[in-house]
């Protein structure tokens, strides 16, 4: 499964049609959510009166088919104009609600990993992002590769050529499953979800292992000695973003208390600020894709750390720079790109002391502050860049336990509390765990015992 995303150049009438479809999705979502909440509140009130469960108000199913049946029974009253838009618009809103309810229920039962998911909320016309998804009907790329055809919307002009997707479609190695229209920062995009038949690939150096240590000074430091500078797109754009933010604050904006509508100048200023933020996001996305693609296509095994990014963002002095670097996005992209290119991604244990460990003798420091950018080993006298030392330790996780590059790979983890032994801690402890990414892209923990 792969997505192809293209920018669109829509006419005024086409924008109104797409917005009408996105509005229909929002109407269906809000109506179904109100219906679900009403049934839940009614059943809770009846239980408080001591009414038996057998005679309670019938429950409304939360699955997509159940919500669709309820909508079809009431759409003539709720939305008399339903015939003016595609049925896929209403299906988009109902599907979003079904997913939200399923995630909320799974989170409450403890069946869903990650943060707790709240109950779905109503979508606002002004604050929600307009979006609509098409799964049926005529969805195709035109022969000129500069237009796409979607149900009820007709031919839409692309801002760039869709030749990469068109070549796969013409060769029969791809099949379009759905198309999603979404507006971001004033520009509409179309994203095709495609089922792709991939040929087996091999990295340029299939037997070479590389450790990747991400940071702020350098976005990535490789165990080969290569250092990729951090472009710091957000910090570079701060002067312009502050100026645009001040200009917008001087204009008459919306007021929820008095229900005052924003002025046209405020809307134009907000659009300029949104485009500036979108430019920063696009530059960051492009740079991360270039970095991860280069790593996945060159090296057979890539080793990264399991960083606690959400915890790192609690540092108010570094939060902006950490968020701008995109540590989590680097790992996410490497997870699927290594599979695409025939390599493997190894994720070191979160408590593995890659920065505190000497890559030459294996001694572990008791403490290493962030201000110490050069690693000094008092045992063997090694003097090395801190990030380069950590990258070499990450590469050693795969090289020491699996030098041939075959079989299960394990690495040295670390206990949460470093054992003290004078100025230096004890040697690293073998036999702990490292996380690996299997062929499906999921992270699985594997253990190993040193001989």
Distance of CA 169 to the CA centre of its chain: 26
Task: Compute the chain's Rg from CA coordinates.
Answer: 27
248, two tokens:
């917008």
In the block, tokens 């699955």 appear at 63
DSSP track, 225-292? S-EEE---HHHHTHHHHHHHHHHHHTS---BTTTTBPPPHHHHHHHHHHHHHHHHHHHHHHHHHHHHH
Q: Where are the beta strands (DSSP E) in 72-159?
A: 131-134, 140-141, 147-150, 154-158
Which one of 95, 324, 349, 387 is the catalytic residue?
Answer: 387
Q: What are phi and psi of 394, to 5 degrees?
A: -65, -40
> What is the rounded distance in angstroms from the CA atom of residue 127 to the CA atom of residue 129?
7
Beta bridge partners of 443: 437
Which one of 213, 324, 349, 424 is the catalytic residue?
Answer: 213
> What is the rounded distance in angstroms from the CA atom of residue 427 to the CA atom of residue 234?
41
How many degrees, rounded to 5, is the angle at CA 53 between CA 52 and CA 56?
95
Distance of CA 4 to the CA centre of its chain: 15
305 part of the active site: yes
> What is the rounded distance in angstroms from the CA atom of residue 169 to the CA atom of residue 191?
15
Beta bridge partners of 270: none
Question: Count of CB atoms within 10 A of residue 259's CB?
Answer: 7
**Residues of 111-126 as b/e, b for ≥16 C-beta within 10 angstroms?**
eeeeeebeebeebeee
Which one of 95, 305, 324, 424 is the catalytic residue?
Answer: 305
On whether the CB atoms of residues 347 and 304 are closer than 8 A, the answer is yes
387 part of the active site: yes
376, two tokens:
């000094």
125, two tokens:
């016309």
DSSP track, 183-215? EETTEEEEEEEEEE-PPP---SEEEEEEEEEE-
Residues 6+ apart with CB under 8 A from 361: 377, 379, 380, 382
Q: How far apart are the first and last CA of the chain?
A: 41
Catalytic annotation, residues: 213, 305, 387
């Amino acid at each position: 499964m792969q997505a192809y995303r293209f920018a669109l150049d829509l006419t005024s009438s086409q924008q109104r049609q797409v917005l009408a479809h996105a509005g229909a999705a929002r109407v269906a979502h809000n109506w179904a959510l109100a219906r679900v909440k009403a049934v839940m509140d009614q059943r809770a009130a009846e239980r408080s009166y001591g009414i038996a469960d057998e005679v309670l108000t019938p429950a409304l199913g939360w699955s997509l088919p159940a919500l669709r049946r309820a909508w079809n029974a009431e759409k003539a009253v709720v939305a008399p104009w339903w015939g003016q838009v595609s049925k896929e618009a209403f299906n988009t809103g109902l599907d979003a609600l079904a997913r939200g309810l399923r995630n909320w229920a799974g989170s409450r039962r403890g069946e869903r990993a990650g943060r707790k998911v709240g109950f779905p909320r109503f979508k606002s016309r002004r604050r929600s992002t307009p979006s609509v998804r098409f799964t049926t009907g005529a969805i195709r790329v035109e022969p000129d590769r500069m237009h796409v055809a979607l149900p009820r919307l007709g031919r839409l002009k692309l801002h760039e050529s869709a030749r990469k997707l068109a070549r796969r479609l013409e060769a029969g190695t791809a099949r379009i499953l759905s198309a999603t229209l979404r507006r971001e920062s004033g520009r509409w995009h179309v994203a095709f979800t495609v089922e792709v038949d991939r040929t087996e690939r091999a990295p340029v150096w299939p037997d070479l292992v590389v450790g990747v240590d991400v940071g702020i000074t350098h976005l990535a430091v490789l165990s080969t000695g290569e250092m990729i500078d951090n472009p710091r797109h957000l910090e570079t754009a701060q002067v312009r973003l502050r100026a645009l933010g001040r200009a917008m604050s001087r204009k008459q904006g919306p007021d929820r208390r008095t229900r005052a509508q924003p002025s046209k100048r405020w809307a134009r200023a907000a659009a300029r600020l949104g485009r500036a933020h979108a430019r920063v996001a696009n530059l960051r996305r492009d740079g991360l894709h270039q970095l991860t693609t280069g790593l996945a296509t060159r090296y057979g095994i890539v080793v990264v750390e399991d960083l606690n990014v959400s915890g790192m963002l609690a540092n108010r002095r570094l939060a902006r720079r950490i968020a701008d670097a995109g540590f989590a996005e680097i790992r996410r992209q490497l997870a699927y790109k290594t599979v695409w290119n025939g390599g493997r991604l190894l994720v070191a244990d979160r408590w593995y002391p890659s920065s505190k460990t000497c890559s030459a003798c294996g001694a572990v420091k008791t403490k290493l502050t962030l201000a110490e950018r050069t690693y000094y080993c008092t045992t063997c006298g090694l003097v090395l860049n801190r990030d380069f030392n950590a990258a070499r330790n990450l590469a050693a996780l795969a090289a020491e336990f699996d030098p041939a590059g075959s079989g299960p790979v394990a690495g040295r983890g670390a206990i949460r509390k470093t054992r003290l032994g004078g100025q230096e801690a004890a040697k690293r402890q073998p036999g702990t765990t490292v996380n690996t990414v299997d062929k499906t892209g999921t992270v699985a923990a594997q253990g190993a015992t040193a001989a």
